[in-house]
Chain A
Amino acid sequence: MHVDWMVRKMANMKMTKIPMAEQDPLVRNKNFLEVALGYTLEEAIDEANRCIECKHQPCKKGCPVNIKIPEFIKEVKEGNIKTAYDIITEDNGLPAICGRVCPQESQCESVCVRGIKGEPVGIGRLERFVADWVMANEKQEPPHIEPNGKKVAIVGSGPASLSCASDLSRLGFEVVIFEALHELGGVLMYGIPEFRLPKDLVKREIDLVLDLGVHVEKNVVIGKSLDIDDLFDDGYDAVFIGSGAGLPKFLNIPGENLNGVYSSNEFLTRVNLMKAYDFPNNHTPVKMGDSAIIVGGGNVAMDAARTAQRLGAKEVHVVYRRGMEELPARKEEVHHAIEEGIIFDLLNNPLEIIGEDAKVTGMKVIQMELGEPDASGRRRPVEIPGSEKVIDADTVIIAIGQTPNPLLTDATPNLELNKWNCLQVNEETMETTVPNVYAGGDAVTGAATVILAMGAGKKAAKAIYNKLILEKK
């Protein structure tokens, strides 16, 4: 489909991005439908025309997988959306997902020339538009692939694994993904909520990877059902570990095992993966109550807070020990949360979770003030003596981070870890301390972004190809 009837040749010199339609905050905070509604074709072309096609193309270098951004935007300007899609997918197999959840403001868009005066080009919005448009309007035929005779096992099916599987498959490898859960997608399915990343869309983008001929074994836990050694015994030539950072951190304060205290993982998995928002049609429940406290200030904390509100909590507090400036969540997520009515109790540190009859009734916090910068460069919060108070709540959700799951590494003692319990790899090849075993994503970096995980998966795929195919020639 060609859409030249709308093509506009003139650059659009507006200082701000073409706005993207969103659900009204007070409507959307009661439903699980997507918040941002995406561009129309006309809006996309208008926004694409804000790109001035500068010579040095900083956006490309700002992208962890170096998508050919100016090239794809040029095609959008011309209305060649499928061509734009093909350009993106040369470097990124999951554009509908990345267009939604990448932190563009600290990557490609942060270095856009248009951002020097005014807002940068809405690269993320355009990526999302292109992916959605092609999914809706084009049937995609999988490419013909010549098998190279080698077999690779992939552990986990999150973004790192999917991008590794996709690249390996295109290079002719027989690829089998082993997933512990009953759905593919890892954090894309269990972690990020429907209203930010619709699960149908995740499934469709994963299906495109499977269409390349990637096989899947769900319900297999590597480290339990099978070990790495078993995989080599079974004829795999290499293994890629993309098992993520799935282990929840807790505060280790009194009252944390009271009923009504969830890890953000448990809470979000119940709601996203198990669809507890649709209980009892889906059979997994979640208990919400009238008021919730979310501890933490990252994207997961924002997701949990906004989810709690959508489940009917009338009062949702985010408790974070530093200030607004220090919130690690994306600005856009914080902005959405504020619009939706989430209360931010910043500069408050949890001391104790309080309960009655084994159930949560509130949390005791102490007021903090910011002191001198610490090792991370952020100003260190210091307690203000005598400033304790209690915030009432029926539910407390701990969203202070995740670490890699030790299940696989416990079963594979020669896989060496760094001091953060992350897998140690050669940064050039992503190979671990066990030959032919590669790793990438949160299992290596600790909790990070989808696109960094995808970049690592791609790097590993290339290294596996170099070692098993090129060097053998």
Chain B
Amino acid sequence: MYKILEKEILNDAVQKMVIEAPFVARKCEPGQFIILRVAENGERIPLTIMDYDREKKSVSIVYQVLGYTTQLLAEKEVGDTLLDFVGPLGKAAPIKNHKRVLGIGGGVGSAPLYPQLKKLASMGTEVDVILGGRDKDLVILKDEFNDICKNVYYATNDGSLGHQGFVTDVLKQLLDQGQEYDEVIAIGPLIMMKAVVDITKPLNIPTGVSLNPVMIDGTGMCGGCRVTVGGETKFACVDGPDFDGLLVDFDQAMDRQAHFVEEEKHACRLDGAKNG
């Protein structure tokens, strides 16, 4: 059993938990993920590690309360335990010794972006970040990014924080201004990562992305997380989750992401009826 050491409500939809998980905290690196199961009969869901503390043997996760399992997770409080928590899974993000990197975090995707930028900053890389969300409440981890980034830009759909519009508008502006980055790391909804790559690819700016497809075991066994990268099938769980964004087939990834949407709604509705 894995104890919840801290819980923080980041906004209406997004929460953070610090979980005691010695076997994960011992060796995990930025970019890697965990799979958890809240309780018996539960689904296994993957979440990218947001932060870790080797001494306290703890790992931080950030999740958006969206489906059935994240609802169950959100009901848990400090002192409660999670049934299963396995990791670290996947490869560590390929963090290179760059001079200047731009991070782009969309919604809850800012969480897995944070440890990568934190590591880059600690290596002396100059890091800027664009954080986006539907409104200002959905832009998360502002203070954390402010501590490690030189410039923090915001984009919200309603204009309640920073630029009104998309993170890609800000990206375009920065590039139009002549800002130069050795790499862009974009983590967020697939549609956002695709839009970022649509801009960076013609300019040939290396762009890392992190994928979070449906998977079961997270060790290469099920192959449910198949993704086409550079024309080849890869397993996000063992070959990723970070990939060269310029090579990812985002359209296929979006199709595959939608495969179980009806079932997800079904499970949520049933639970609503049960509670209601």
A226 neighbours in B (Cβ, 8 Å): 23, 26-27
The chain B residue sitting closest to A223, CB to CB, is B219
Of B27, B84, B87, B221, which is in contact with the most chain A CB atoms at under 10 Å from its CB? B221
Does B224 reach chain A (CB closer than 8 Å)? yes
Cα A275 to Cα B88 with chains together (Å): 25
Beta-carbon contact of A266 and B223 below 8 Å? yes
Whether A221 touches B252, Cβ cut-off 8 Å, given contacts A182-B84, A284-B43, is: no
Residue interface bits B74-85, CB-to-A below 8 A is 1, else 0: 000000000111
Taking CB as reference atom, which chain A residue is nearest B27?
A225
Residues of B within 8 A of A279 (CB): 263, 267
How many residues of A are in contact with the other chain, CB < 8 A?
Answer: 43
> Across the interface, do B86 and A220 meet the contact criterion of CB distance under 8 Å?
yes
A281 part of interface (Cβ distance < 8 Å)? yes
B233 interface contact, C-beta 8 A: yes
Q: Does A274 contact B (CB under 8 A)?
A: yes
| Those of A165-196 within 8 Å (CB) of chain B | 180-182, 190
A266: chain B residues at CB < 8 Å are 216, 222-224
Q: How far is the CA of A279 from the CA of B260 in the complex (A)?
A: 12
A274 and B47 alpha carbons, distance in the complex (Å) = 18
Is A269 in the interface zone, CB < 8 Å from B? yes
Q: A263-B222, A275-B41 are in contact. Are A280 and B87 (CB under 8 A)?
A: no
Which of B84, B87, B216, B259 has a CB less than 8 Å from the CB of A221? B87
Q: Does B110 contact A (CB under 8 A)?
A: no
Chain A residues within an 8 Å CB radius of B267: 279-280, 283, 285
Selected interface stretch from A73-81, A244-252, A441-449, A459-467: A244-252
When the two chains form their complex, are residues B44 and A182 in contact, meaning their CB atoms are under 8 A apart?
A: yes
Contact of A269 among B87, B216, B259, B260 (CB under 8 A): B216
Report the separation of the CA atoms of residues A407 and B89 in the bound assembly, to the nearest whole angstrom.
Answer: 10
Residues of chain A within 8 A of B88, CB atoms compared: 224-225
- Give chain A residues whose Cβ lies under 8 Å from the Cβ of B227: 257
B40 to chain A, nearest CB (A): 9
A14 at the binding interface (Cβ < 8 Å): no
**Interfacial chain B residues near A106, Cβ < 8 Å:** none
Min CB distance A264 to B, Å, is: 10
Query: Which residues of A are in contact with B by a Cβ distance under 8 Å?
Result: 180-182, 190, 217-221, 224-226, 230, 246-248, 250, 252, 256-257, 259-260, 262-263, 265-266, 269-270, 273-275, 279-285, 287, 358, 405-407
Contact surface of B with A, Cβ cutoff 8 Å: 23-24, 26-27, 37, 41-44, 68-69, 83-89, 216-217, 219-224, 226-228, 233, 238, 252, 255-256, 258-260, 263-264, 266-267, 270
Known: A247-B220, A287-B260, A405-B221. 13 other contacts (CB 8 A): A182-B44, A219-B85, A220-B86, A225-B27, A230-B27, A247-B221, A257-B252, A257-B256, A259-B256, A263-B222, A266-B216, A282-B41, A284-B216
26 A-B interface contacts by CB (under 8 A): A180-B86, A182-B86, A217-B23, A225-B26, A225-B86, A225-B87, A226-B27, A230-B27, A248-B221, A250-B223, A252-B233, A256-B233, A257-B226, A257-B227, A259-B256, A259-B259, A262-B223, A262-B224, A263-B222, A270-B222, A279-B263, A281-B41, A282-B41, A285-B266, A358-B256, A407-B220
